[in-house]
Amino acid sequence: MPDPDDLYGVREERLLTGATVITGVRTIVSVVLAAVAAHEQSLALLVAALAVYWVGDMLDGLYARLRGCETRIGAVLDILCDRFNAAAFYVGLAWLQPDLSPAIFVYLAEFMVVDLFLSIAFLAWPVRSPNYFFVVDRPTWLWNWSKPSKAVNSALFAVLLLVTGWMWVGLVIASALLVLKCVSLHRLVRIGLPVPAAVG
């Protein structure tokens, strides 16, 4: 657990850190694998792309915490790269298994629009990343960025589709996630995003 004072303090910001290098590498490798998977019609390569994305996403965060190089720039880069990796995987999956498309595109609406807005909203407060949003609002953090909620949001849907191929169950899960994110967004609006004072 970092020093509580550090949760609010914005450290010296820099783009190039070991963590952002890991983020960049895992993003490129995962997207290239997904593109090759679509071209070769290979589900195995697509799963490999997903594995690189997930392992790399865990590794860059772990490295940042252990080496003390967590930055707001790095957090935003990680959030954006997550969306690129997810889009590459899910569009590839829809290409290979078009019957899953309804569930996939509901999930993409949830993850790439509503969840993206929620995830970058931390920038309105002096915290380093969504991982520390509990200092702003604990319920929103529990629903969205605690370890169990992250696992459900990113892993459950993909694993279920890959293992079972049940589009309707996937659609229910994706819709439930979308509702949860909309509830979180409503709560965030009620809290009130800090707005900078007008200049002049």
Handedness of CA 74, 78, 81, 83 (dihedral sign): negative
Predicted TM-score (pTM) of the model is 0.88
Could you give the number of structural domains in the chain? 1
Q: In CATH, what number is assigned to the domain containing residue 107?
A: 1.20.120.1760
The verdict on residue 36 lying in a domain is yes
pLDDT score, position 69: 78
Give, for all 200 residues of the chain, the pLDDT tens digit: 444 445 544 556 777 788 899 999 999 999 999 999 999 999 999 999 999 999 999 999 888 888 887 899 999 999 999 999 999 999 999 999 999 999 999 999 999 999 999 999 999 998 999 999 999 999 999 999 998 988 888 888 999 999 999 999 999 999 999 999 999 999 999 988 876 655 55
pLDDT score, position 5: 44
The verdict on residue 197 lying in a domain is no
The verdict on residue 112 lying in a domain is yes
Q: Assess contact for 119 and 130: CB atoms under 8 A.
A: yes
The verdict on residue 24 lying in a domain is yes
The verdict on residue 199 lying in a domain is no
Q: Which range of residues forms the domain containing residue 90?
A: 4-191
pLDDT score, position 94: 97
Q: What are phi and psi of 193, to 5 degrees?
A: -70, 130
The verdict on residue 198 lying in a domain is no
| Centroid of chain to Cα 69 | 19
Q: Assess contact for 42 and 8: CB atoms under 8 A.
A: no
